Amino acid sequence: MEFKQLLNEGGNMNSFDRVRANTSDTLNTEFDREIARQVRPFEGRSKAAITRRIDELDRRRRRRCHGARRITCGDN
Protein backbone atom coordinates (compact mmCIF):
# COMPACT_ATOMS: atom_id res chain seq x y z
CA MET A 1 0.00 0.00 0.00
CA GLU A 2 1.36 3.40 -0.94
CA PHE A 3 2.18 5.82 1.89
CA LYS A 4 -0.19 8.55 0.77
CA GLN A 5 -2.99 5.98 0.53
CA LEU A 6 -2.29 4.94 4.14
CA LEU A 7 -2.62 8.54 5.27
CA ASN A 8 -5.77 9.13 3.24
CA GLU A 9 -7.45 6.21 4.97
CA GLY A 10 -7.08 7.56 8.44
CA GLY A 11 -6.51 11.14 9.36
CA ASN A 12 -7.12 14.78 9.09
CA MET A 13 -5.65 15.61 5.72
CA ASN A 14 -6.26 19.35 6.13
CA SER A 15 -3.39 19.87 8.57
CA PHE A 16 -1.31 17.29 6.71
CA ASP A 17 -1.68 19.17 3.41
CA ARG A 18 -0.93 22.51 5.06
CA VAL A 19 2.31 21.21 6.54
CA ARG A 20 3.40 19.47 3.35
CA ALA A 21 2.57 22.56 1.28
CA ASN A 22 5.00 24.58 3.40
CA THR A 23 7.79 22.00 3.47
CA SER A 24 10.35 21.46 0.75
CA ASP A 25 9.89 18.55 -1.64
CA THR A 26 13.24 17.18 -0.53
CA LEU A 27 12.16 17.03 3.12
CA ASN A 28 8.71 15.69 2.26
CA THR A 29 10.33 12.87 0.29
CA GLU A 30 12.72 12.14 3.16
CA PHE A 31 9.85 12.11 5.68
CA ASP A 32 7.77 9.87 3.39
CA ARG A 33 10.60 7.36 3.10
CA GLU A 34 11.20 7.25 6.85
CA ILE A 35 7.52 6.85 7.69
CA ALA A 36 7.12 4.17 5.01
CA ARG A 37 10.12 2.33 6.52
CA GLN A 38 8.47 2.43 9.95
CA VAL A 39 5.05 1.36 8.63
CA ARG A 40 6.30 -1.44 6.33
CA PRO A 41 6.57 -4.07 9.12
CA PHE A 42 2.81 -3.74 9.67
CA GLU A 43 1.86 -4.25 6.03
CA GLY A 44 -0.51 -7.19 5.72
CA ARG A 45 -1.28 -7.37 9.43
CA SER A 46 -4.84 -7.27 10.62
CA LYS A 47 -6.42 -4.10 11.97
CA ALA A 48 -6.66 -5.83 15.37
CA ALA A 49 -2.91 -6.56 15.40
CA ILE A 50 -2.09 -2.98 14.50
CA THR A 51 -4.50 -1.68 17.15
CA ARG A 52 -2.85 -3.91 19.78
CA ARG A 53 0.56 -2.51 18.84
CA ILE A 54 -0.70 1.08 19.04
CA ASP A 55 -2.24 0.35 22.45
CA GLU A 56 1.07 -1.13 23.62
CA LEU A 57 2.97 1.95 22.47
CA ASP A 58 0.40 4.21 24.18
CA ARG A 59 0.86 2.32 27.47
CA ARG A 60 4.65 2.69 27.22
CA ARG A 61 4.32 6.40 26.50
CA ARG A 62 2.01 6.90 29.48
CA ARG A 63 4.41 5.04 31.79
CA ARG A 64 7.29 7.23 30.61
CA CYS A 65 5.24 10.40 31.09
CA HIS A 66 4.09 9.33 34.55
CA GLY A 67 7.65 8.40 35.51
CA ALA A 68 8.95 11.76 34.34
CA ARG A 69 6.18 13.53 36.27
CA ARG A 70 7.05 11.65 39.47
CA ILE A 71 10.71 12.54 39.10
CA THR A 72 9.97 16.19 38.29
CA CYS A 73 7.22 16.72 40.88
CA GLY A 74 8.51 14.40 43.57
CA ASP A 75 5.39 12.19 43.54
CA ASN A 76 5.82 8.74 44.97
* 1-37: pLDDT as tens digits: 455 555 555 555 556 678 888 999 999 999 989 988 8
CB of 3 within 8 A of CB of 32?
yes
- pLDDT, one tens digit per residue, over 59-72 is 888 888 877 777 77
Give this prediction's pTM. 0.48
Q: Under 8 Å CB-to-CB from 6, ≥6 apart: which residues?
A: 39
Distance CA 55, CA 67 (A): 18
Residue 46 has a pLDDT of 92
Distance CA 57, CA 37 (A): 17
Nearest 10 degrees: Cα torsion 17, 36, 47, 45: 160
Residue 66 has a pLDDT of 77
